[in-house]
Amino acid sequence: MTLADLIAGVTMLALNAYVVLGGADFGAGVWDLVAAGRRAHRQRAVIADGIGPIWEANHVWLILVIVLLFSCFPPVYASLSVTLHIPLVLMLIGVVLRGSAFTFRAYDSTGSAVQRYWGSIFSIASTITPILLGMCVGALASGALAVPADADFHARFVAPWTSGFAILTGFFTLAIFAFLAAVYLTVEAKDEDLQEDFRELAIVAALAVAALAVALLILGHRIEGSITPGLVSRPWSLVLQVLIGLAATTAFVALVRGAFRTARVAAVAQVSLIVWGWAYAQYPALIPGVHTIESAAAPAVTLRLVAWGLAGGAVVLVPSLWYLFTIFKSDEASAFQRVDTAEYKAPE
Amino acid sequence: MSDLLAARSQMAMSLAFHIIFAVMGIGMPLLMVLAERQWIRTRDPVWLDLAKRWSKGTAILFAVGAVSGTVLSFELGLLWPAFMEYAGAIIGMPFSLEGFAFFTEAIFLGIYLYGWTRLTARAHWWAGVAVAVSGTVSGIFVVFANAWMNSPTGFTLVDGKPTDIDPIAAMLGPASFPQALHMTIAAFATTGIAVAGIHAWMLRRDRESTFHRAALKLALLVAVPASLLQLVSGDLSAKFVAKWQPAKLAAMEGHFVTQRSAPLRIGGIPDERTRETRYAIDVPGGLSFLAFGDFDAEVKGLDAFPESDWPPVAITHVAFQVMVGLGTLMAFASLWVIVCWVRKREVADSRALLGLLALLTPAGFIAVEAGWVVTEVGRQPWIVQGVMRTADALTPMPGLVVPFAAFTLLYVFLGVIVAWLLWAQIIKTQPDPAHPIRRDV
């Protein structure tokens, strides 16, 4: 394994973190959008409490992916930004609207009508953005980005990310995010009615994830240049597929039985394995048909320094993140009152 | 509108929008931890109220700063892919480090904003300190990356391709120190003056408010030293530009003809066609002295460069005048504050000073925007000084006027909302001395 492989792996790890943390925040927005019935208000409250303290941190993973990409694999960053210009711009608009609307809703106390308005911007943007992100991944994985520079506008800038495969990948991504969010929310929700609500949603999402995964496998095999054959034909791919299946089954059974903590662990494992299954099937290509890890890697000196930077950064980040999550995601923490009605703890 | 102009406009607009939030993202956390520290020491609830309001403002500004910063990290590639392909490996280092600093800031801001009830006061305060420090550090790293575009070092050009890359040397090039210093001080001066201005304005209407007096005092504690130090760091920056970017200096000064004992021009409108700057007040030998420390030194004029390498002279010159003018005013107000403080131990009693501070509320922001116009427009037609032209970095994607229009609309919308939220939620709401901390996070 080369240094470039290692950094590509770390980039993938950051993407993995973005999917299981930031992705769940998007998914929570989806459930905010579809929240209905007598308990809709309480469902939304659980969602807001769950996202509040950690969502900024969760979304920095995406910036880390981008920064690693342009420092260590600059031609890949440049090439993706050219061919995927349109969906990336649309995705960014979603990111901006979602992020700001969420904060505006939290700090705007002018009245419930305005808050609902922020809430709907937040939840609509939460739904559309993952689809666009998934369409970009679908364009990449289907090998559609190997377009000659003299191709016409449609062939170069539109066709790659609007194929059936890409669109299906978009919905697959949305389903994964929604699934993760619903599973996490079963743990976050403290009363049984809400837990039951989110359990049902999680089961629906799990079924959607499974159905879309099968559809993508079938569709992908028909596309020339797609990475789909790599999902099954490589030495370890079957092992990976079996592990994904095991994790998915565990998550599903745990959900049905109401073992929410087990379901959460299994769901994270399942989704992470899907991400790594994609990476493994595509390895060593970064953009299939255009760039490999080796062909796109920055000079060794840059890679070495970034590797040191990553190690140094991890020394700061890991304990900080651990601190953040122990404060807000431990059982003890949730026993505290909701923040907006609480008194500030005075020093003795 | 040509694609190049649309792309440049989109980049300029995105940076101009983001920089406001970046500046506040550096300055506000410092104010917020200073206020909380006062509260921990004195237990006077006015400080806690202040810390909470300022942290609310920080939260809103940080969120918009974070998303507009994310947009920028993509826009570098969406608009200038050839630049990023060329420069990514060279300046990736400061960007990577910035990523970590920003990450740390986001983590501790979450802890700070939502942790009032979950941490001891001391731990909570330290979380605020972590936000302030990592925010400042993250700003410095971004400026390092920009500094490289002004004084590209750390590589050798062989057949138009960079080789022998040394990312550390690239990160710590000659522009890095003066530029990072100037920008960091600008962030504190701007935030301090803006917050002081708002409370000065409130004090003119309600002279006895202990709340506004306390807020004004803390804001000036940051604003005054920063505004005065900025004069020194500005001089350092000018000397750097004189040495490394003589064409930019000539444009900043509207200086067309190479000469010894060059005058410093105050005001004036440069005319590129007739090659002269009219209506300026000339200080003889002033430019030679400020640039090289010698009243007699020769300063290159624009005539020393082919016209195809000229930056837009009028824009650069006027922006520079605006920045220097406002910076000087801010320094003047700061001196006045010191005089008041030394003589009367109180600044809130001078109605005239309060009026000036209130007027200066937006001054720092305008100066920062003008300063970035000088840096960026003054570097044109280069995206990397002397190495790559902006036009050669442009994406092949056509129709760039569409994303430009879309982001402009989006940012205007966000700008209005943020201004309204800060006004309605934080500034206008009256402090409630009986329950300063209830329902108020």
d(CA B102, CA B125): 19
CB under 8 Å to B191, separation ≥6 — which residues?
B23, B24, B26, B27, B28, B30, B31, B222, B223, B364
**Distance between B106 CA and the closest CA of chain A, angstroms:** 5
Assign B263 to helix, strand or coil: coil
Q: What is the pLDDT of residue B315?
A: 94
Cβ contact B12:B404 at 8 Å: no
Q: Is pLDDT at A339 greater than 60 in this prediction?
A: no
Residue B266 forms contact with A (CB below 8 Å): no
Residue B436 pLDDT: 44
Direct distance between the N- and C-terminal alpha carbons of chain B, in angstroms, rounded to an integer: 46
Contact B166, B155 (CB under 8 A): yes
**The pLDDT of residue B236:** 93
Residue of A304, A76, A2 whose CA lies nearest to B93: A304
Q: Which residue of A has its CA nearest to B70?
A: A63
pLDDT at site B429: 67
Q: How far apart are CA B311 and CA B330, in angstroms?
A: 28
CB-CB neighbours of B10 under 10 Å: 23
Percent pLDDT > 90 in chain B is: 62
pLDDT at B344: 84
Residues of A in contact with B70 (CB under 8 A): 59, 62-63, 92, 95-96, 99
Residues 6+ away with beta carbon under 8 Å from A313:
B96, B97, B99, B100, B103
Quote the CA–CA distance of A179 and A26 in Å, as a whole number. Answer: 11
DSSP B386: T
What's the rounded Cα separation, in Å, for the pair A261 and A46? 17
How far is the C-alpha of A308 from the C-alpha of A304, rounded, in Å? 6
Q: What are A253's two structure tokens?
A: 């059974």
Check if B156 contacts A (Cβ < 8 Å): no
Over range A304-310, report the average pLDDT. 89
Q: What does the pLDDT look like over B287-320, one tens digit per residue?
A: 999 999 889 999 999 999 999 999 999 999 999 9
As a whole number of angstroms, the distance between CA A280 and CA A3 comes to 17
**What is the pLDDT, as a whole number, of residue B431?**
56
Lowest mean pLDDT among A170-174, B87-91, B196-200, B346-350: B346-350
Q: Where are the alpha helices (DSSP H) in B245-345?
A: 246-253, 286-292, 313-344
Read off the pLDDT band of A108 (50, 70, 90).
Answer: low
Give the pLDDT confidence score for residue A55 in this predicted structure: 65
Which of A47-56, A138-147, A232-241, B25-34 is predicted with the least confidence, judged by mean pLDDT?
Answer: A47-56
Distance (Å, whole) CA B436 – CA B388? 56
CA distance A122 to A104: 10
Length of chain B in terms of residues written: 441
Asked if residue B182 has pLDDT above 90, the reply is yes
Q: Which of chain B's residues have a Cβ under 8 Å away from the Cβ of A71?
A: 88-89, 92-93, 95-96
Q: Quick check: A53 contacting B, CB < 8 Å? A: yes
B214-243 pLDDT per residue, tens: 999 999 999 999 999 999 999 999 999 999
Residues A157 and A301: beta-carbon distance below 8 Å: no
CA–CA dist B84, A193 (Å, integer): 52
Facing residue for B63 by CB, picked from A63, A103, A109: A103
pLDDT, tens only, B266-283: 988 998 888 888 888 989
* Residue that the structure tokens 């969420």 belong to: A102
Q: Could B67 and A79 be called an inter-chain contact, meaning their C-beta atoms sit closer than 8 Å?
A: no
Q: Bin B346: left if φ > 0, else alpha if -120 < ψ < 50, else beta.
A: beta
Write down the pLDDT at residue B439.
34
CB A88 within 8 A of CB A78: no
B123 interfacial to chain A (CB closer than 8 Å):
no
Q: Which of B66, B85, B67 minimizes the C-alpha distance to B76?
A: B85
Q: Is B304 helix (H, G, I), strand (E, B) or coil?
A: helix
Query: Would an 8 Å CB–CB cutoff place A335 in contact with chain B?
Result: no
Percent share of chain A, pLDDT over 70: 91
Tokens of B88: 């990514």
DSSP secondary structure, A168-219, as one string:
HHHHHHHHHHHHHHHHHHHHH--SHHHHHHHHHHHHHHHHHHHHHHHHHHHH
Give residue-wise pLDDT tens across range B361-414: 999 999 999 999 999 999 999 999 988 999 999 999 999 999 999 999 999 988
3-state DSSP call for residue A18? helix
Which pLDDT score is estimated for A343? 41
pLDDT digit string (tens) for B429-440? 665 544 444 333
Chain A nearest C-alpha distance from B181 (Å) = 23
Return the residue of B nearest to A64 by Cα. Answer: B99
Which B residues in the span 17-76 are in contact with A, Cβ-Cβ below 8 Å?
A: 40, 48, 56, 59-60, 62-64, 66-71, 73-74, 76
In this complex, do A305 and B93 lie within 8 Å of one another by their Cβ atoms?
yes
Amino acid B434: pLDDT: 43
Provide, as residue numbers in chain B, all residues whose Cβ is less than 8 Å from the Cβ of A26.
none
Beta-carbon contacts of A240 under 8 Å, excluding residues fewer than 6 positions away, are A273, A276, A277, A280
Residue A347 above 70 pLDDT?
Answer: no
* Rounded CA separation B305/B245 (Å): 11
Of A102, A108, A321, nearest to B107 by CB-CB distance is: A321
Smallest Cβ–Cβ distance between B71 and the set A96, A306, A340 belongs to A96
Which residue would you say has higher pLDDT here, B53 or B348? B53
Q: Is the pLDDT of residue B27 over 50?
A: yes
Q: Do A344 and B437 touch (CB under 8 A)?
A: yes
Note the pLDDT tens digit of each residue in A217-262.
888 888 877 777 777 778 888 888 899 999 999 999 999 998 889 9
- Residues B394 and B389: their CA atoms lie apart, in Å, by 9
Q: What's the pLDDT band for A283 if we cut at 50, 70, 90?
A: confident
pLDDT reported for residue A321: 85
What is the percent of chain B where pLDDT is above 70?
96
A45, A47, A49, A182, B39 from A189: Cα distances, Å: 10, 9, 10, 10, 35
- Say whether B120 and A313 touch across the interface (CB within 8 A): no
Q: Which residue of B has its CA nearest to A333?
A: B118
Among B60, B50, B91, B57, residue whose Cα is nearest residue B73? B91
